[in-house]
Structure 1
């Protein structure tokens, strides 16, 4: 009798996803909302033919050396910097992502963070909840998008989607990208010019060696003191310590983020937590990586990852594969 494939699911997924996976093989699933420790994941992965992986996972050569049966890693995400492509290629393992489904909800959140930071939503909510609010007072004046200059750094799918949503807000849109062109209605400029002339800077860039700490002390020094910085790309595109220093010195108008340096697991020198002074600074607004946290979107992302696993287990190239394995021969 042919042994059914084993599929490891490292984080919580919807029941419909598990049901679909069960048609492909035997499931070993994390049914909690917390990620397993790395060693526990590796032990379970030793018997797996495929892994449904998430951002909390970090798969490298040391991980793969213990996974002799593994054929595919289907990532339920778009940014794959926590996954060692060279190691997967050398081990003959497919890596797939979900490239499109996160775009619109992430773009919506970017606009929400920009408005929330500019209009003092966090402080306004706290005032009402405190019981001290007695009706309108001339307090918490902020800034608006109408008539402002907004720079979008990274003109991939998310950057273009942010631009599309901002096109109706009456703002001047600048696009920054070394390769991609900008859509009609935007002006393509260099990063330095954008930083010097913008009221808002929205980061949509992926993490790469060239983008790590793209916004550091030098970049922040080019901004006006009231510029608002919003990050929905990757945490380490920003140097959080430099952002904190700029905020404390009154040289940055505010910082909003959905992504953080501590999440970039593949970087050994990453901070292990968000600095308390940054977390508690009055001119910050944070969300816990909610870019794709829309129920129907997450279900669709999970199901697309399932499709990629099905392709691999059937001996085909996964439809969203992003690598070219040197050899697909794996020994059981």
Structure 2
């Protein structure tokens, strides 16, 4: 490796906190010394911080928490490439102050997340998981008058949040002949005309009118527990709630209460409060009332973007952004501009 000063530059170190595809490893190892977690279980916070003390780059995932303390201990860090779209587990301001780029993968997760949202709706409304459990437990003895559910055809579906994911969900629901409502204060009225099959309305109207309420929001201070006892009370009795977005959008204990009293007919989610690492007082597990075999719930283990080709490209996109930043270029998917700058030679990059 030759830098602009015509001397050999030391390869930078890049830490990868979770198991990755061979293509990701091969790309990074061409340009850096790479430490990759080979196991399925993620490294804990303290181990990631220890490994990053002399690292220039970090390929981070949903399981990681990057805060001011972390960045203070990792003074050589120049870029965090997050294999994520939502980045509520990373302190952006702290990264900016520390001179660290933060990049995300802004759009590859949209379509697979929308697909999973539809799957959760169908599974919840049509008792697909309950039917599967019944056959595996008792065998199949022919049709019986049971497990009647709710159809999407003719249902009113309310989408809270109408960014890329919310729009992708709405597009896929058109063929189900639903009545589609959506709310998002960031969508100008003029832009709403681009989606004539969706009625843009208020949050209050969405939750009181919908048979299915689907969350498509980022997690922020304003959206934390946007579904809470007060919200749930305002919903239609017997409504179903679907969450493919972030766990802490929902007060899970309040949802359990609402299911017990019959206010909600069911809850489906791909994300959970316990995994929102940036929230120090988060629950450590899912409310057990929601995970009993008889609960009208459908849960998946955060597989919204879990399509093989998509996950590979997400990793590669994050890896390319790390290499670009270490090479002195503005990286793709950057969500900040570091206060401190560093030279090509300091990065030890390509």
- CA distance in 1: counterparts of 2:159 and 2:150, whole angstroms: 18
Provide the TM-score with structure 1 as the length reference.
0.98
**In the alignment, what sits opposite 2:325?**
312
Structure 2 residue corresponding to 1:210, chosen from 222, 226, 230: 222
Q: Which ranges of structure 2 fall in alignment gaps of 5 or more residues? A: 1-7
* Residue 299 (structure 2) pairs with residue 286 (structure 1): yes
- CA distance in 2: counterparts of 1:199 and 1:246, whole angstroms: 15
**In the alignment, what sits opposite 1:12?**
19
Range moving further from structure 2, 30-39 or 103-112: 30-39
Structure 2 residue corresponding to 1:35, chosen from 37, 42, 46: 42
**In the alignment, what sits opposite 2:111?**
104
Aligned residues: 332
Please, what is the CA RMSD of the aligned residues?
Answer: 1.2
Structure 2 residue corresponding to 1:260, chosen from 266, 272, 279: 272
What whole-Å deviation, never above 9, does each CA across 1:27-61 have from its counterpart, x for those lacking one?
A: 01101111112111111000111000001100011
What whole-Å deviation, never above 9, does each CA across 1:139-194 have from its counterpart, x for those lacking one?
A: 11101000110001110100000000001101000011111254221001111111
Secondary structure in 2 aligned to 1:68?
Answer: coil
* Residue 173 (structure 2) pairs with residue 166 (structure 1): yes
**In the alignment, what sits opposite 2:341?**
328
Contact preservation (8 Å) 2:289, 2:295: no
Shift of 1:324: 1.6
- CA distance in 2: counterparts of 1:195 and 1:37, whole angstroms: 38
* Residue 192 (structure 2) pairs with residue 192 (structure 1): no
What whole-Å deviation, never above 9, does each CA across 1:259-279 have from its counterpart, x for those lacking one?
A: 111111101111111111122
**In the alignment, what sits opposite 1:225?**
237
**Within-5 A mapping of 1:122-141:** 122-141=129-148
Contact preservation (8 Å) 2:238, 2:265: yes
What whole-Å deviation, never above 9, does each CA across 1:252-310 have from its counterpart, x for those lacking one?
A: 01000001111111011111111111222521110000100111000000010011011
Q: Which ranges of structure 1 fall in alignment gaps of 5 or more residues? A: none
What whole-Å deviation, never above 9, does each CA across 1:114-158 have from its counterpart, x for those lacking one?
A: 000000011100121123421111111101000110001110100
Contact preservation (8 Å) 2:68, 2:94: yes
Provide the TM-score with structure 2 as the length reference.
0.93
- CA distance in 1: counterparts of 2:137 and 2:81, whole angstroms: 46
